[in-house]
Amino acid sequence: MTLTASSTGLQNKILVSRLLTRSGDQAWDFAVPVTLITLFPAHISLIALIYFLTKLGSVIFQPWLSGFIDHWMRLKTAACGALLQLSGIAMVVLSVFQLTVKAVTHDSLWLQPQLWPWFAGTVTGSLLSTLGAGLMDVSVGNDWIPAAVPQHRLAVINTRLQRLDLLTEVLSPVIAGLILSASAAAGPLTGFTIIALWNALSFIPEILLLRNVFLSSPQLQTKTLIPSEGPRGGLISQTVAGWSEFRTQTAALPVIAYTCLWLSALSPHGVLLTSFLKTGWNFTESSLGIFRGLGAVFGLLATLLFPRVRKIFGLVGGSRFFITFQSLVLLVSLPFFFRETGGGWVFLALILASRIGLYGFSLGETEIRQRTIPEGVRGKVNGVAGALTSFATLVLFGLGSLLGTPKTFPVLVVISVAAVTAGAVLFYRWSVRADPVE
């Protein structure tokens, strides 16, 4: 089957829209925790608490919000996601500025009630931004693409999307780190403001491109909308319905296995590892940006390897290969973390290598969902999948709030390795008795 020029053009516009918005998202995700830890260096646990509460809100609201994908036309859903993200960015910027202005001392933040509303504003803004990003990811990745892209092209488009994500993960944090470092003399929030504007402005061309794709694609305009449930379709009933539908899906166990990977603090772009490297191992902002970028470089290797591994082992077997690889590499890395001399660099190198397994498995799990979840419940089921990963991150930040010092970070390292290993075991058990998903 050959692709028409029109179909290729639509897919390219989806890719470009993703590139534009991800560049700003990645810079923003790097800038917020680094700015907070720079302003309040003695409060890693506070920053972990902010992200803990953000993920708690995501667990509660994401399945309900994603359920609207099944009730709304696709362009309306995308516009809603962008608006939520823009509102969240504005609220976080305002709140961080107020925290800086109103803090009497940075040593006793918990004892300054005048700051509590602005902590709440930071959490609320982060939640709005997270919900908007989640809605966009589910809508475009799990509803637009399965509708507009032939099944035999799903692996190709997914690989290209992840390459773009990883390209921005390589470049955006490095650029953001340089902006923060270069603007530090002008004030601690100058670079933060520049990055906020970068992220906000990226949504304009994204929505314009998606609008063009929508208006040019009959497949996207033709959608069977699920009737609204009216007063019965509230938060609780929608959430219960989503979880009930999720349990019946072929992809349920692969999603749970993938969720286990989110219980890991060993991510080059993760808030907890970033905070530990800055305060425990004295990394500079530019060094943190480079390390985060290298993590994405290794993820890019996964996008090159995935098509070859998939061709040899199939979708299920290839996914099993990647999650097993990640687990084994992290198990090997564990002793080096505790070694007194030279072990830290080996540990970080193995963390980078483990990203090949993570991103390879992510591609496989995404395609399993795209192939097996039918239209009409995509928003509902994928919303639950997003809530599960948010719940895993919620647990992780909860642990970070309790173990938010460099001395207790080794406990998080052990928990992280155990969680990834558990995910590999779960997926192996599913894969050896699952019907082929090809």
Burial state string for 36-66 with b = 16 or more CB within 10 A and e = fewer than 16 = bbbbbeebbbbbbbbbbbbbbbbbbbbbbbb
Span 65-83, average pLDDT: 86
* pLDDT reported for residue 434: 60
Q: Note the pLDDT of residue 428.
A: 95
Average pLDDT on 303-307 reads 92
User: What per-residue confidence (pLDDT) applies to 1?
Assistant: 40
Mean pLDDT of the residues in the chain: 83
What is the rounded average pLDDT of the residues 415-435?
Answer: 91
What are 231-260's pLDDT values in tens digits?
A: 345 566 767 777 888 888 989 999 999 999
The pLDDT assigned to 21 comes to 80
State both tokens at 189: 């929030």
Q: Count the neighbouring beta carbons within 10 Å of the beta carbon of residue 339.
A: 11
pTM value?
0.75
Please check the confidence at residue 313 and state whether its pLDDT lies above 60.
yes
- Report the amino acid identity of residue 363: L
Is residue 269 predicted with pLDDT exceeding 90?
no
Q: What is the DSSP string of 93-156?
A: HHHHHHHHHH-S-SS-GGG-GGGHHHHHHHHHHHHHHHHHHHHHHHHIIIIIHHHHS-GGGHHH
Taking CA atoms, 386 is separated from 164, 351, 389, 390, in Å, by 21, 24, 5, 6
Give residue 310's pLDDT: 92
Instruction: Output the pLDDT for position 235.
Output: 65
Percent with pLDDT over 70 in the chain: 90
Q: In this predicted structure, which of 57-71, 136-150, 214-228 has the lowest mean pLDDT? A: 214-228
pLDDT for 234 equals 59
Show me where the domains of the chain are located: 9-221+234-431
Tell me how far apart the alpha carbons of residues 317 and 335 are, in angstroms, rounded to a whole number.
29
**Percent of the chain clearing pLDDT 90 (strictly above):** 25
* Of the listed ranges 98-102, 269-273, 339-343, the one predicted with least confidence: 339-343
- When pLDDT is cut at 50, 70 and 90, the band that residue 16 belongs to is confident
Query: CA 72 to CA 76: how far, in whole Å?
Result: 7
List the Cα angle 184/187/193 in 5-degree steps. 90
User: Under CATH, what is the fold of the domain 9-221+234-431?
Assistant: Growth Hormone; Chain: A; (1.20.1250)
